[in-house]
Amino acid sequence: METKEAAAARAAELRELIRRHDYRYYVLDDPEITDAEYDALMRELRAIEERFPELVTPDSPTQRVAGQPSPAFAPVRHPVPLLSLDNAMSDEALREFDARVRRRLEGEAPAYVVEPKIDGLSVALTYEGGRFVRGSTRGDGEVGEDVTPNLRTIATIPAALAPGAPARLVVRGEVFMPVAAFERLNEARRAAGEPPFANPRNAAAGSVRQLDPSVTAQRSLDCFVYAILAAEGFPEGAQPPATQWEALAALRSWGFHVNPDNRRCATIEEVVAACREWAARRAELPYAIDGVVVKVDALRQQEELGSTSHSPRWAVAYKFPAEQARTRVLDIVVSVGRTGALTPLAILEPVRLAGSTVSRASLHNEDYIREKDLRVGDWVVIQKAGDVIPQVVAVDAAARTAEARPFVMPDRCPVCGAAAVREEGEAVRRCVNTACPAQVRERILHWAGRAAMDIDGLGPAVVDRLLAAGLVRDVADLYRLRAEDLASLERMGPKSAENLVARIRESLERPLARLIFALGIRHVGERAAELLAAHFGDLDRLARATVEELTAVPEIGETIARSIVTYFAQPETAAFIARLKEAGVRTAEPGRAPAGEGPLSGKTFVLTGTLSMPRREAEERIAALGGRVSGSVSRRTDYVVAGENPGSKLERARELGVPVLDEAAFVALLEEARAGRTAGGGDAVGAGAARPAGAPGAAGEGNGGNDRADL
């Protein structure tokens, strides 16, 4: 039976995995796993938390709402919350929705508006005096991200409204990438060696949440507007709309792009028929949809029905059943991951499915293929799980021809030929050769990843060229590269070669936690790496730790501990770490305080707005000195660090009289703390002022080169 300790370790692992996938999905717009796989992780975590409620942590992903704004953009508080919708998954659920509405309206029969549910990015657009002044993403519904410059590049978002529009107007709409533009973009990305976007939604979100608006401008985005969130100052004689249908017409007349496929239905049966029709005709539409939104037409009735805290009672989202397609398996290939795991992949005859052309599907592992008795040449039914990566859901054995041949999982690595071994109790077969080129490639990519050593510019295309040219054989070789070596690579000019060498060099100084994560030890994710770095403070100490010493670290369980011991017991590991040290990778945290101890111990910081250093770095520097970072401002907060475009946290700090530091003052404070002068009471800044008295004014500006060298 499962012990509480095992459950706690697994819960910690799951939380960390989910966080990492959230980051890839919401921030990078580049998910690594399917929605179904993500849901499975969430379900497993929820199940553990249900069995052991005492294990629920306040920061568990089960406790939060999705879509938190990214720190890269300034936060914007929406004038009215941007609500979400309840789902109806069947015709019956639609009729129940109608019955609920009628009950609340005391028998009054509502008319409905039916709108295709665009799979894009929800935005709020503000107009003042007819001019577009601000655009933001939905974020968590209360606070979104300011993406005004990016939205200005979208042709169908009018910069100025037509006469007749109210003086102040806030509307809601959906930014999307038409299917044709999505496919063109992905073709171009594949040709450039960049990873394609999984679906038009991710492509739209990735394009809007760009730091450089000129990138957004090249992305052929469109925006359908579907709601008036606030309107004041209608011109003389103009009537505010009384229904959703009139609102759509008004929005169109003011110059917005309004979906021509929206419809008005007099009864719920008409609504049901319209939903069925869209489900059937979904593939014909030039934009991707994941359902239909059904709204009560009369605004007076909407008001009467009201909203719960997260969704209106007057609308519902009819979600389509997962779209399926039938196609043939042309081949089954096997890819090799970072840990040597062999993953079979079906190569399909290209087929259109849920807004994109699909030519491959994941097959998970050999058991999955055996259970389905899937053979090369078979006809299969595929489905997009949560509309991301397609999966094979059924095999049409009746359509099998004599040529169909069973698949045999190789017992040798398809890339290097070494033995591929399946350990007892595991579903996965692994290539045992740690020098396998496929593993090396994935290890380098993991090493360079944002949460690891964060080497910008070292993506798949560059890594492939480096490997092909024989310039690197493992991660340690990266640190021997010179700009001259790189400049000889295809598509790499002298300037980019120099930049890349500089980025690689900078990574030598990453904090220990990132180094531990970057090593790619099985089961050691970002969170475990942080705990281990804080506890051991030095890679050599970690390498010598026993299972008992490791499990003594809170949150580190047996699985993680054993995996670490196994990793460091391998002779290659010692040789590899020696080479890293030789290259100058920092393996100890000089002067790092054990968790909570240090010159900033007991001090709580809150970060807001955009800093020139990544937020993660700011957090790490505070933690390295023993301080703590919190997400919200309270009386117990010691400092609020305000970057550019700070949000409501700054106002809150001022209300509570919490000292506010700008970036220069913050860096100066870190420097002082590190130099041994603690951040004691007297040197803090008063509310409003932004530099500690006595801090050298130039410390912030002059810091760029300095702090890297000796932190």
Write out the catalytic residue numbers: 117
Nearer to ligand IVH, 215 or 317 (CB): 317
- Measured between alpha carbons, how far is 60 from 567 in angstroms, rounded to an integer? 29
Asked if residue 115 binds ligand IVH (CB under 6 A), the reply is yes
Q: % helix / strand / coil in the chain, to the nearest 5?
A: 40, 20, 40
Among 117, 319, 603, 674, binds ligand IVH (CB under 6 A): 117
Burial class (CB in 10 A: 0-12, 13-18, 19+), 548: exposed
Asked if residue 171 binds ligand IVH (CB under 6 A), the reply is no
Nearer to ligand IVH, 4 or 310 (CB): 310
Nearer to ligand IVH, 174 or 707 (CB): 174
Nearer to ligand IVH, 312 or 457 (CB): 312
- Minimum CB separation of residue 315 from ligand IVH in Å reads 5
Among 13, 174, 442, 662, binds ligand IVH (CB under 6 A): 174
- Contact pattern from residue 47 through residue 66 relative to ligand IVH, giving x for each residue in contact according to CB under 6 A and a dash for the rest: --------------------
- Measured between alpha carbons, how far is 346 from 322 in angstroms, rounded to an integer? 20
- H or E element at residue 385: none
Nearer to ligand IVH, 254 or 318 (CB): 318
Q: Which residues pair with 500 in a beta bridge?
A: none
Question: How many other C-beta atoms are found inside a 10 Å radius of the C-beta of residue 604?
Answer: 18
Asked if residue 293 binds ligand IVH (CB under 6 A), the reply is yes
> Residue 229, SS3?
strand
Nearer to ligand IVH, 289 or 358 (CB): 289
- Minimum CB separation of residue 138 from ligand IVH in Å reads 6
- Measured between alpha carbons, how far is 328 from 315 in angstroms, rounded to an integer? 40
Among 62, 68, 70, 84, binds ligand IVH (CB under 6 A): 84
Helices (H) and strands (E) in the chain — how many of each?
A: 25, 24
Nearer to ligand IVH, 83 or 543 (CB): 83
Segment near ligand IVH (CB under 6 A); pick from 56-64, 112-120, 415-423, 667-675: 112-120
Site for ligand IVH in 640-679 (CB under 6 A): none
- Measured between alpha carbons, how far is 669 from 706 in angstroms, rounded to an integer? 14
- Measured between alpha carbons, how far is 465 from 467 in angstroms, rounded to an integer? 5
What are residue 310's phi and psi, to 5 degrees? -115, -15
Segment near ligand IVH (CB under 6 A); pick from 24-32, 83-91, 96-104, 390-398: 83-91
Nearer to ligand IVH, 296 or 550 (CB): 296
Segment near ligand IVH (CB under 6 A); pick from 115-123, 247-255, 507-515, 611-619: 115-123
Asked if residue 278 binds ligand IVH (CB under 6 A), the reply is no
Segment near ligand IVH (CB under 6 A); pick from 117-125, 214-222, 568-576, 642-650: 117-125
Burial class (CB in 10 A: 0-12, 13-18, 19+), 486: buried
Among 226, 447, 517, 666, binds ligand IVH (CB under 6 A): 226
> Residue 610, SS3?
strand
- Measured between alpha carbons, how far is 451 from 530 in angstroms, rounded to an integer? 11
- Measured between alpha carbons, how far is 350 from 526 in angstroms, rounded to an integer? 37
Among 83, 279, 345, 461, binds ligand IVH (CB under 6 A): 83
Asked if residue 317 binds ligand IVH (CB under 6 A), the reply is yes
Asked if residue 85 binds ligand IVH (CB under 6 A), the reply is yes
Closest CA to 594 of 654, 548, 531, 540: 531
Site for ligand IVH in 690-709 (CB under 6 A): none
Nearer to ligand IVH, 174 or 378 (CB): 174
Site for ligand IVH in 122-161 (CB under 6 A): 122, 138
Segment near ligand IVH (CB under 6 A); pick from 82-90, 187-195, 428-436, 580-588: 82-90
- Minimum CB separation of residue 84 from ligand IVH in Å reads 5
- Minimum CB separation of residue 86 from ligand IVH in Å reads 8
What are the angstrom distances between the C-alpha of 569 and each of 332, 562, 564?
A: 35, 10, 9
Asked if residue 614 binds ligand IVH (CB under 6 A), the reply is no
Closest CA to 139 of 75, 88, 183, 182: 75
- What interhelical angle do 200-208 and 179-191 show, nearest 10? 80
Angle at 7 between CA 430 and CA 632, to 5 degrees: 105
- Minimum CB separation of residue 684 from ligand IVH in Å reads 42
- Contact pattern from residue 296 through residue 315 relative to ligand IVH, giving x for each residue in contact according to CB under 6 A and a dash for the rest: ----------------x--x
> Residue 251, SS3?
helix
Give the distance from CA 200 to its chain's centroid: 15
The residues of the shown chain that bind ligand IVH, judged by CB under 6 A, are 83-85, 115, 117-118, 122, 138, 174, 226, 293, 312, 315, 317
